[in-house]
């Protein structure tokens, strides 16, 4: 083994989780910290929630860094990530998790809402990963990229054309990047949750939603985080370009 490889493999492993302040992203931060990673937590506006997420990472004995930026803003995202990589080195892994929805029947969707959903959910794939990929490759220690898509991206859903389009687009992007990065030992996979108990689905008729699910209950953020944890593990080193559903049996 070359001296360089020794140094690289011994370096502390840092991961970035976008939208890590609440919901699924927060559970992912906590889980990856428990797995031994230092975590950079991106959030948009809720700093108090981000601080709580950071405290959970630190309680697991790992370092947390807070990064406030809007993943839909290419310039702001690029600048924040370039500064972080310059200061702390390349990430070992990235979880592209931040996402929004703006549901409406197709004939009533406002153009601004369509654009906001596509920019936040789909354009963020480019905005976040494009500046991070070359540093990951140059670090020569492999890596993990996990993209949070959705059952809606696989099956479609009434009232969710913009959301489903963004999530289906992510699957295509991830499959393509997986093929580009495979020889660098960097895997790229998607996780597709069904209905998970977070603020994103607040206001929805939870009981009637649960009736639609074969397991008769909503999922928990920790159940999604467990799959991300597996995809980050050494045992998942040969899985890439895959989409794993976490949805209680919905088709």
Instruction: Tell me: does residue 37 bind ligand NDP (CB under 6 A).
Output: no
Instruction: Tell me: does residue 98 bind ligand NDP (CB under 6 A).
Output: yes
Alpha-helical regions (H) of 89-216: 111-117, 124-139, 151-155, 161-181, 206-211
In which element (H, E) is residue 84 found? Answer: helix 74-88
> What is the nearest approach in angstroms of ligand NDP to the Cβ of residue 180?
23
Instruction: Confirm if 150 and 191 have CB atoms less than 8 A apart.
Output: no
Cα distance between residue 188 and residue 175, in whole Å: 7
Instruction: Tell me: does residue 200 bind ligand NDP (CB under 6 A).
Output: yes
Query: In the numeric block, which tokens belong to residue 54?
Result: 């950071």
Q: What are phi and psi of 50, to 5 degrees?
A: -65, -40
- Residue choice 95, 196, 228, 231 for contact with ligand NDP (CB under 6 A): 196
Instruction: Tell me: does residue 127 bind ligand NDP (CB under 6 A).
Output: no
Nearer to ligand NDP, 156 or 184 (CB): 156
Cα distance between residue 17 and residue 93, in whole Å: 9
Positions 210 through 249 that interact with ligand NDP (CB under 6 A): none
Active site residue 163: yes
> What is the nearest approach in angstroms of ligand NDP to the Cβ of residue 227?
12
Site size toward ligand NDP, by CB under 6 A: 30
Task: Give the neighbor-by-neighbor strand order of the sheet with 143-148.
Answer: 64-68, 38-43, 14-17, 93-96, 143-148, 186-193, 243-246
Instruction: Tell me: does residue 162 bind ligand NDP (CB under 6 A).
Output: no
The interface mask with ligand NDP, positions 12-31, x = CB under 6 A, is: ------xx-xxxxx------
Using alpha carbons, select from 98, 28, 41 the residue that is nearest to residue 68.
41
Nearer to ligand NDP, 137 or 210 (CB): 210
Active site positions, annotated: 163
**Positions in the binding site for ligand NDP (CB under 6 A):** 18-19, 21-25, 42-46, 49, 70-72, 97-100, 120, 148, 150, 193, 195-196, 198-201
């Amino acid at each position: 083994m070359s001296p360089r490889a020794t140094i690289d493999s011994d370096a502390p492993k840092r991961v970035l989780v976008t939208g890590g302040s609440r919901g699924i992203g927060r559970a992912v931060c906590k889980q990856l910290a428990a797995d031994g990673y230092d975590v950079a937590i991106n959030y948009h506006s809720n700093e108090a929630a981000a601080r709580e997420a950071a405290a959970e990472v630190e309680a697991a004995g790992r370092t947390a860094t807070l990064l406030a930026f809007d993943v839909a803003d290419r310039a702001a995202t690029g600048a924040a990530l370039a500064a972080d990589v310059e200061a702390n080195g390349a990430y070992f892994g990235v979880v592209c998790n931040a996402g929004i929805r703006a549901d409406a029947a197709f004939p009533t969707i406002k153009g601004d809402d369509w654009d906001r959903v596509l920019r936040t959910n789909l354009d963020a794939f480019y905005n976040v990963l494009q500046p991070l990929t070359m540093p990951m490759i140059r670090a020569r220690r492999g890596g993990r990229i996990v993209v949070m898509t959705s059952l809606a991206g696989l099956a479609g859903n009434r009232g969710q054309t913009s959301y489903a389009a963004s999530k289906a687009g992510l699957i295509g992007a991830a499959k393509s990047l997986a093929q580009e990065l495979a020889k660098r030992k960097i895997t790229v996979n998607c996780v597709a949750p069904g209905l998970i108990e977070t603020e994103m689905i607040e206001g929805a008729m939870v009981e009637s939603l649960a009736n639609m699910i074969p397991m008769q209950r909503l999922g928990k953020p920790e159940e999604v985080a467990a799959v991300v944890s597996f995809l980050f593990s050494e045992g998942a080193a040969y899985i890439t370009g895959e989409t794993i559903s976490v949805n209680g049996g919905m088709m």
